[in-house]
Amino acid sequence: MPVTVNGVELTDADIEREMDHHHDAPNPAQMATVSAILRRLMRTEAERLGIVHGDMDDDAVAQALLMQEAPVPDPDESSCRRHYDSRPDRFREGEWVEVEHILFQVTPRVPLDALREIAQQTLALIKGDPSTFASHASALSNCPSGAGGGRLGRVFRGETAPEFERAVFSTQAQGVMPQLVETRFGLHIVRVLDRCDGNRLPFDAVRADIARALSDAARDRAWKQYASLLIGRASITGIELEGADSPLVQ
């Protein structure tokens, strides 16, 4: 069934142009289609408002439209200070953890449920006898570190996948972590050997970074709300969209 936006059918070329941006999505074709829909809606609205000038490309049109219709004020000093004070474990330098891990890599040929079962069984064995960690790493880990008993050494913030980083830096506990750690690479059994909390950076040193992060988050929310508004006003057929819950505004 063709997808139409306000009575105009999207072409295969419209959707294909978006595919490169969504190869890692669970449903690339769906995401490419909704991106093409949003691109069409934003250009149409920008033309209606007289924002399009000369040979502006779609990205420039979208940026100009959003800046005019969904502006975001810069965060003030008090907002930045509240963000800093509410996160005493953030904005540190010299923070590291010394870890070992066993990676069960997710591959197309191995069902995730079966892989999880093996990882859980291995975790249970290691929790019962932590001295077997190195031997299990050598036998089972899909990471090159398995040859060295799973040892990764000191890991500083920003050096590993965000999911892995959140897990190992979110606790002060040491030893084998009680649950599997899931990342884009697979399932990990992790043992924390040592850690250093580092030193907290002063507010003035991170104020610009905080302001940028708060501004980016506010802009993301505002633009999603505006996209939802455009969707609600449009006539879209051939695809299921659910307003603010649609991938179009995720």
CATH number assigned to the domain comprising residue 172: 3.10.50.40
In terms of domains, do 184 and 224 share one?
Answer: no
pLDDT in tens, 88-138: 888 988 999 999 999 999 888 888 899 999 999 999 999 999 999 999 999
The answer to whether residues 142 and 104 belong to one domain is yes
In a domain, 99, yes or no: yes
Residues 23, 102 share a domain: no
Backbone CA torsion sign across 29, 33, 38, 39 = positive
The total number of structural domains that make up the chain: 2
pLDDT per residue over 192-221, tens digit each?
999 998 999 999 999 999 999 999 999 999
Secondary structure in 3-state letters for the chain: CCCEECCEECCHHHHHHHHCCCCCCCCHHHHHHHHHHHHHHHHHHHHHCCCCCCCCCHHHHHHHHHHHHCCCCCCCHHHHHHHHHCCCCCCEECCEEEEEEEEEECCCCCCHHHHHHHHHHHHHHHHHCHHHHHHHHHHHCCCHHHHHCCEEEEEECCCCCHHHHHHHHCCCCCEECCCCEEECCEEEEEEEEEEECCEECCHHHHHHHHHHHHHHHHHHHHHHHHHHHHHHHCCEECCCCCHHHCHHHC
Structural domain contains residue 173: yes
Q: Same domain for 169 and 245?
A: no
Instruction: Please check whether residue 151 lies inside any domain of the structure.
Output: yes
Nearest to 138 by CA among 148, 130, 129: 148
Lowest-confidence pick of 59-63, 87-91, 172-176: 87-91
| Per-residue confidence (pLDDT) for residue 108, from 0 to 100 | 81
Range of the domain at 224: 4-75+206-249
Percent of the chain topping pLDDT 70: 96
In-domain check, residue 81: no
Q: What pLDDT does residue 243 have?
A: 43
Query: With bands split at pLDDT 50, 70 and 90, how would you rate the model's confidence at 244?
Result: very low
- Asked if residue 176 and residue 96 are part of one domain, the reply reads yes
**Would 67 be classed as within a structural domain?**
yes
Does the pTM of the predicted model rise above 0.85?
no
Confidence grade of residue 24 (pLDDT, cut at 50, 70, 90): confident
Confirm whether 143 is domain-assigned: yes
